[in-house]
A and B are shown apart, each in its own frame.
Chain A
Amino acid sequence: MTGRYFQFWGVRGSYPAPFESHLKTGGNTSCVEIRSGNDLVICDAGTGIVPLGNILAKHEDIREATVLLTHYHWDHISGLPFFLPAFAPGWKLHFFGPGGNARDIEDNLAEQMRAPYFPVETETWLANIDYLDPTQRARFDVGDINIEHFNVHHPGSTFGYRISVNGKVVVYASDNELSFLAHFIEKRKMEFDEAERRLLEDMQNEQNQKALDFMRGVDYLIHDAQYTKEDYAEKRGWGHSYYLDAVRAADEAGVKHLFLFHIDPNYDDNAVDVLRNTAKAFLADRGSKTQCHVAVEGNRIDLG
């Protein structure tokens, strides 16, 4: 576990999918490890953080990690009560995520480890824990890993992260509903008068551009691709993207590599193959330079 890389430990959204038919893609919920030597950043603490923690606990050279939480929905924090380094003396853990102050992060994490939901509380953690106030840190470093956060379209306050390592930029936007406003503008357009409609067109263009800002030209984009077109039609407003909206956005933003992430747990490996092949064909039709991949549990991507 040396060098610079990122590795997928959990790629599912919503809930784990520990089914034989799903395991080529992976069954754990959101967790991505980013490493530069012994500097360690972990994006989200879904169930994927459990096997990562088991390995880290045996690693002699690393005793410090920064956990970046996008938000506090279960699929992003439910591995934390089983994350061995938190229970080990000698470890130092920094938690960062949305909130009005550091205390909000602490409270949100403590909430899932209380009776009657869990037998032990965060007070039993033996690691040295600190919570980083997000209002005081627009940008910060973990060794030579640089971290910035931005707000995304998902219920409640939710962050995405832009992480720079060795001149490479990785953007992690696990939960982000693209095209939400565009849909409602299209649906309600006829209710507006002409002057308003002109403004709405400008608004739609402006929003489309804003949605691309955080991913423009990045080397690696790990993005919400939870639904097929049919499922998105039923689940619009749940805070997740139709996967081809993510592919289109990545192409328009000039992303080099897109990883389809936060895969719906109802999609088995065959269904995921269809998503991958359709996305690749979609990009080929557009003559795109963006390469599309499915985030697969266990895959490690070298960052030089």
Chain B
Amino acid sequence: MTKPLTKIIVIDDSKTSISLYKLSIEPLDVELVTFESPRAALQYLGDGDASLIFLDILMQDMDGLTMLKQLRELDHHSETQVIMATSKDYAQDRNKAKELGAIDFLVKPIRSQEIREVIRKYTDAPDKQAGPGG
């Protein structure tokens, strides 16, 4: 039986941020699921699981801190690894995120390499195997 892929969830209402995550995660052998809407993400996570979640804060559907609070109320996500990834580099946001159990706080703009580093730090996601001649 093959081991399921590490599942990375990204919740960010910026299309270009989502593109950056896709570019960053390309070399890793992981499953990437993205949401521009926190409400849609909450609905998915109601049944779904996640190895690691990247969560923006300033979004219009619902802000990331409010979403994180609601996520923690789901039994199976009370300890899911969540990393805030935001331009809101304010102490109050950092403290609130920590209080809600976020394990890291990345400040935009974020480099592809930083994204891969934190994925490797918090999961056992392997690199993709090089193809023939690669």
**Which of A150, A155, A191, A195 contacts B90 (CB under 8 A)?**
A155
Q: Which of B84-123 contact A (CB under 8 A)?
A: 87-93, 96, 107-109, 111-112
**Which of B59, B65, B109 contacts A184 (CB under 8 A)?**
B109
**Which of B59, B90, B92, B107 contacts A151 (CB under 8 A)?**
B59
Q: Which of A204-220 contact B (CB under 8 A)?
A: 206-207, 210
Which stretch (B16-24, B45-53, B74-82, B126-134) binds chain A? B16-24
- The reply to whether B91 and A155 contact each other, CB–CB distance below 8 Å, is yes
Give the nearest-CB partner of A239 in chain B. Answer: B90
| CA distance in complex: A154, B63 (Å) | 12
Q: What's the tally of chain B residues with a CB closer than 8 Å to chain A?
A: 29
- The reply to whether A157 and B20 contact each other, CB–CB distance below 8 Å, is no
Known contacts A100-B66, A100-B69: A195-B89 contact under CB 8 Å: no
**What residues of A have a CB within 8 angstroms of the CB of B19 in the complex?**
199, 202
- The reply to whether B109 and A151 contact each other, CB–CB distance below 8 Å, is no
**What residues of A have a CB within 8 angstroms of the CB of B112 in the complex?**
193, 196
Binary per-residue interface labels of chain A (168-192) against chain B in the complex, 1 for a CB within 8 Å, 0 otherwise: 0000000000001100110010011
- The reply to whether A156 and B87 contact each other, CB–CB distance below 8 Å, is no
By Cβ-Cβ distance, the 5 closest A-B pairs, closest first, are: A155-B90, A155-B92, A181-B87, A203-B16, A202-B16
On B, residues with C-beta under 8 Å from A are 14-17, 19-20, 23, 58-60, 62-63, 65-66, 69-70, 87-93, 96, 107-109, 111-112
A-B contacts, 14 of them at CB < 8 A, read: A151-B63, A155-B88, A156-B90, A156-B92, A184-B89, A184-B109, A196-B111, A196-B112, A199-B20, A202-B16, A202-B19, A203-B108, A207-B87, A237-B90
